[in-house]
Amino acid sequence: MSDYVAPLRDIRFVLDEVVDLPKIATLPGYEEATADLVGSILEEAGKIAAGVVGPLNQIGDEVGSTWAKGDVTTPEGWSDAWNALVEGGWNGLPFPAEWGGMGLPQVLNLAVQEMWQSANMAFALCPMLTQGAVHAIELFGSEEQKAKYLPNMVSGVWTGTMNLTEPQAGSDLAAVRSKAVPEGDLYRISGQKIFITYGEQDLTENIVHLVLARLPDAPPGVKGISLFVVPKVMIGEDGSLGERNDVHCASIEHKLGIHGSPTAVLVFGEKGGALGELIGLPNRGLEYMFTMMNHARLNVGLQGLAIAERAHQQALAYARERVQGKPVGWREANVPPIVHHPDVVRMLVSMKTRIEAMRGLLYTVAAAHDLAHAHPDADARKKAQFEVDLLTPVAKGWSTETGQDVTSLGVQVHGGMGYIEETGAAQHLRDARITTIYEGTTAIQSNALVGRSVLRDGGVSVNAWLDEQTAVATALSAHAGLSDLGLALTGAIATARDAVAWLVEANGRDSRLPFAVSVPFLMLTGALCGGIVLGRAALAADAKIAAGDDHDGWYAARIALARAYFGQTLPDVDARWATMRDGGEAVLAVDLAHL
C-alpha cells in the first residue's frame, strides 16, 4: 500500500478560490482564521495524517478491533494516534473557546477531517462522531449538561457516540423500543442498540452515549422518541469519574471493511437500567438527533471523497511504476509504465476530476454551514441554511456513490494485482462500501431531496437556487477560452429544471413516481453540482493564469481537469434525466411476482 500524502495545494485552492474561506474569516467569531493560521493548521494536519494516522491503516484492516468479555481492544498504535489528536487539540477545532475549542470555521475543520479520513477511515470515525455528539449537546443540552460533558468531549479526553438503531428498527426509527423510566432527576435506560460505531473502545476512560428511547407515556411513532445522554462511567458533581454505568458491549460486528473501527452491540440495563439525563424536551429526541445525523451525513459524504483520494493516489503511484505492454501510439523503443496507456489515463483522469468535484461540493456545504451560523444578516443566514438543507443529501449520496465508483476504478487500474489484498487497493473498495449505507442509505438521501426540497413547495425553491447557479455559466461563457464550458453548464442547468418540473407533474399523477426515480435525480443533481464547482475552479484558475501566477502549469491543469469532467461526467445530467423520464413508470409496471 502506498503512503498517503495530504493534497494540501488542492485543498487550499478549493478553500480560498472556490468557497472563499477568506470571506468567511471576516464573519463574527471567525476572525482568527487568518491565511497564515489556516496554512499552519493544514500543514500540521497533513503531517499527522501522513506520519501518525496513515501508517496504521493497513494494520487496522488486517488485525481489526477485538472483543473479549465486554472489552474492546483497538489495533496497535490506535491509542498513541488518538493521544496525538488530543494533545494537539484537534477535536476542538470548530468549537467555541468557552469549551476549550479553537472557534474556527467548519469548512476548515472539514478540510482537516478529510485528511484524517483519507489516511485512515476506520480511525477517523471516532473523532467524527465525537464532534457530532458535541454539536448535539451544545445546541440542545442544558447549561449544566454542557459544563459537565463538553470540556472533556471537545478536548477528546472523552468520546461520543450516536445510538439510534435497534435489531427491529433499522432506518425505521418509529419502531424504537428502548425505554426510559424517570428516577428522580435521572432516567433508567433499558434496551439494546446495534451498529454503534466506537460504542466500546480502549482509547479513552469514558464514552458519552447519546441514546434514543421512549418515556412511559410517550405517544407511538417518531413523535414519542426522546434523547438521553448516558455516560459509560458515571460522573460526580466535582467532575470525577465514579462507578461503571449499566451499559455493556455484548459483541462487535464482523464487517466487510473498516475493520479497525469497533461496531458495537450495546446493552443498556442488564442490571436494572443505565442512568441517563434527558436532553431538551420530552418527545423531541429525533429532532435533536437529526442535528448529529446531518453532521454525520456531511462527514460520511466526506468519506466518499477521502477514500477516493487515497485510492487515486495509490492507483497513480502503481500506474507510474508498472510496466505492461507498449501503449497504442507509443513510438519510442522502450516500454513505458502503464500510465501512458490511453484507457489507464481515462480511468485516472475520471478519478481525479470527480475527486475535485466532490471536494468542491462538500466544502461548499460546509461553507454554507458557516454562513448560516455566523453571518450577521438574517436573510443571508436563511439563504445559506436552505443551501445546507438542499445540498446535504446530495453531498452525502452522490459523494459516497462516486467514492465507491472511484475506489473500484482504483482496483481496475491495478489489474489482477488490485484483487490481491497485499497491494491495499481492495481495502479502499471494501472500506468505501459502507458509506452509501450508514447515516441513511442513498435512497433515504434522495427521498429527502425530492420530498423536502422539491415537492414540498412545488420546486419553487430549487428553481430559485438554479437561477443563482446560472451566474457561473454566464461567467464561463464570457471567457473566450471557457465559453464551451459555459454552454455545457447552461444546458445542464436547463435539464435540471426539466427534471424538477417532471417530478412535480409526476407526483400529481402517481405519488410513487418521484420516489421511483429519486436516486437518478440525486445523481443528476450531484453531477450538476460538480460542474458548478469545477466551473468556479476554472474561472479562478483562469484569473491566476491571466495574472501571471501559473509558473508550473498547475492552474492550467485545473482548467484541463474541469474540461475533462465536463466531457466525462457532466453528461450524466442528461443520462439521468432520460432515466427519470423514461424509466420511472417502466419500473413500477413490473409485476413483483416475476422479479
Residues 337-349 have pLDDT tens digits of: 999 999 999 999 9
**Alpha-carbon distance 221 to 173, whole Å?**
8
C-alpha cell at 318: 502503481
CA distance 473 to 491: 9
Q: Which of 109, 134, 155 is the last residue of a domain?
A: 155
The pTM of the full predicted model, rounded to 2 decimals, is: 0.97
Q: How is 250-294 classified by DSSP, letter by letter?
A: EEE---SS-TTS-EEEEEE-TTS-EEEEEESSTT-HHHHHHHHHH
560 in a domain, yes or no?
yes
Tens digit of pLDDT for each residue in 165-196? 999 887 778 789 999 999 999 999 999 999 99
| Structural domain boundaries, residue 264 | 159-283
Alpha helix (H) residue ranges in 76-105: 78-88
134 and 177 part of one domain: no
Same domain, 580 and 449: yes
117: domain CATH number? 1.10.540.10
Pair (482, 566) in one structural domain:
yes
Instruction: Tell me, yes or no, if 387 is annotated catalytic.
Output: no
For residue 74, give the amino acid letter: T
Query: For residue 91, what pLDDT band results from cuts at 50, 70 and 90?
Result: very high
pLDDT of res. 1: 74
179 by DSSP, 3-state: which? strand
Does pLDDT of 589 surpass 90? yes
- Distance between CA atoms of residues 418 and 407, nearest Å: 10
pLDDT of residue 280: 96
Give Cβ neighbours of residue 524 (< 8 Å, ≥ 6 apart).
495, 496, 499, 572, 573, 576, 577, 580
Map residue 159 onto helix, strand or coil. strand
Reference 439, options 329, 298, 544; nearest CA is 298
Residue 434 included in any domain: no
pLDDT digits (tens, 9 = 90+) for 422-451: 999 999 999 999 999 999 999 999 999 999
Residue 583 within a domain? yes
Task: State which amino acid sits at residue 69.
Answer: K
Residue 170 is predicted with a pLDDT of 76
Residue 279 lies in a domain: yes
- Among 287, 522, 540, 482, CA closest to 399: 522
pLDDT above 80 for 316: yes
Residue 507 C-alpha cell reads as 407526483
Parallel/antiparallel/unpaired status of strands 263-268 and 274-279: unpaired
Question: What's the per-residue H, E or C state across 318-379?
Answer: HHHHCECCCCCCCCCCCCCEHHHCHHHHHHHHHHHHHHHHHHHHHHHHHHHHHHHHHCCCHH
- CATH number of residue 229's parent domain: 2.40.110.20
Give domain status of residue 420, yes or no.
Answer: no
* Confidence category of residue 522, pLDDT binned at 50, 70, 90: very high
Return all residues near 151 (Cβ < 8 A) that are at least 6 apart: 99, 100
> Over the stretch 415-425, which tens digit does the pLDDT of each residue have?
999 999 999 99
Q: Which of 123, 140, 155 is the last residue of a domain?
A: 155
Of 197, 389, 398, 391, nearest to 308 by C-alpha is: 398
Indicate the average pLDDT of the chain.
96
Question: What pLDDT score does 143 carry?
Answer: 97
User: Are residue 567 and residue 451 in the same domain, yes or no?
Assistant: yes
In a domain, 345, yes or no: no
Q: What is the pLDDT of residue 175?
A: 84
- Judge whether residue 292 has pLDDT over 80: no
Give the residue, 287 or 482, on which the prediction is more confident.
Answer: 482
Do 449 and 575 reside in the same domain of the chain? Answer: yes
DSSP string, 192-256: EEEEEETSS-SSSS-EEEEEEEB-TTPPSGGGG-EEEEEESEEE-TTS-EEEEPSEEEEEE---S
Shared domain check, 49 and 149: yes
Query: What are the Cα distances from residue 470, in Å, to 406, 476, 595?
Result: 29, 10, 43
Residues 493 and 559 placed together within one structural domain of the fold = yes
Residue finishing a domain among 238, 264, 283: 283
Instruction: Convert the pLDDT of each residue in 553-576 to its tens digit.
Output: 999 999 999 999 999 999 999 999
371 found inside a domain: no
Q: How confident is the model at residue 38 (pLDDT cuts 50, 70, 90)?
A: very high
Three-state DSSP state, 296 = helix
pLDDT at position 174: 79
258: pLDDT strictly greater than 90: yes
Could you tell me how far CA 567 lies from the centroid of its own chain? Answer: 26
- The SS3 assignment for 514 reads helix
- How many domains is the chain partitioned into structurally? 3
200-232 pLDDT, tens digit each: 999 999 999 999 999 999 999 889 999 999 999
Number of H helices, E strands in the chain: 19, 12
Tell me, yes or no, whether 201 and 170 share the same domain.
yes
Residue of 205, 439, 468, 585 marked active site? 439
Q: Are residues 460 and 510 in the same domain?
A: yes
Confidence of residue 487 (pLDDT cuts 50, 70, 90): very high
Task: Kindly tell me if the per-residue pLDDT of 252 is higher than 90.
Answer: yes
Residues 128 and 249 reside in one and the same domain:
no
Whether residue 163 sits in one domain with residue 40: no
User: For residue 82, what pLDDT is reported?
Assistant: 98
Q: How much is the pLDDT for 5?
A: 98
Average pLDDT of the residues in 492-520: 97
3-state secondary structure of 93: coil
Q: Are residues 65 and 163 in the same domain?
A: no
pLDDT score for 290 = 80
